[in-house]
Amino acid sequence: MIRRFAYLDASAPLAFAHRGGAARGDENTAEAFARAVRLGYRYLETDVHATADGVPVVFHDATLDRMTGERGRIAELRWADLRTLRVGGAATVPRLDDVLGAWPQVRFNIDVKADGAITPTVRTVDRLRAGDRVLLASFSDARLARLRALAGPKVASSLGMRGVARLRMASL
């Protein structure tokens, strides 16, 4: 049986704005996503971690230092503390629900970067009824298995490292 996902119902090739485009060092910020949408992108790639109190936030790294200049791990901070920090001195770290809600016409490839973000991410996608416009992704095969089990078969998901290796080997 071949499953078709609404996420992929566009003509190929698909142009993705990786981390929102990040042209000005403001990756994974509302400003970067807005700029990409203004440029015509309808597919955005982003990354998700979860705070200590279970809020899924759009941020690539597990730690804050590269993007905010602060020390600490996202998973160890509460949302109330994280929301006061700035990316590049200007932009705030966005919550996943704010990003999905701001651009309901856009499709998101959501790379879930940590095990602690699995449940909060899937709950947010479910709550916003965004399952038809997201693809859940991870480089971790174990994390992908958990995402698929929790999200169910109607939400598109990526291949993990082993799946990509199997596909590559089959092509040879």
Average pLDDT over residues 132-156: 95
Looking at the chain, the whole-number percentage of residues with pLDDT higher than 70 is: 98
How many C-beta atoms surround the C-beta of residue 84 within 10 A? 10
Q: Is the pLDDT score of 23 beyond 80?
A: no
Least Cα distance to 57 among 81, 37, 41 occurs for 81
Tokens of 66: 């590269």
Q: pTM for the full model?
A: 0.92
Burial of 11 from C-beta contacts in 10 A (0-12 / 13-18 / 19+): exposed
Helices (H), 79-133: 79-82, 96-102, 118-127
Tokens of 166: 């199997």
Distance of CA 67 to the CA centre of its chain: 17
**Predicted confidence band at 1 (pLDDT cuts at 50, 70, 90)?**
low
Instruction: Find the catalytic residue in 18, 42, 73, 123.
Output: 18
Least Cα distance to 145 among 153, 169, 130, 79 occurs for 153
Average pLDDT, the chain: 92
Q: Is the pLDDT score of 25 beyond 80?
A: no
Tokens of 118: 């699995």
pLDDT tens-digit map of 67-89: 999 999 999 999 999 999 998 87
Tokens of 120: 């909060």
CB 85 within 8 A of CB 93: yes
Strand segments (E) across the chain? 16-18, 43-50, 56-58, 86-87, 91-92, 107-112, 134-137, 156-157
Q: What's the pLDDT score for residue 55?
A: 98
Name which residue leads in pLDDT, 32 or 9.
32
Give the span between the Cα atoms of 20 and 72, in whole angstroms: 24
Give the residue carrying structure tokens 């998973």. Answer: 75
Strand segments (E) across 14-85? 16-18, 43-50, 56-58
**Predicted confidence band at 2 (pLDDT cuts at 50, 70, 90)?**
low
Q: What's the pLDDT score for residue 14?
A: 86
Instruction: Find the catalytic residue in 60, 83, 146, 148.
Output: 60
Q: Is position 18 annotated as part of the catalytic site? A: yes
Amino acid at 144: L
CB 37 within 8 A of CB 21: no
Q: Is position 60 annotated as part of the catalytic site? A: yes
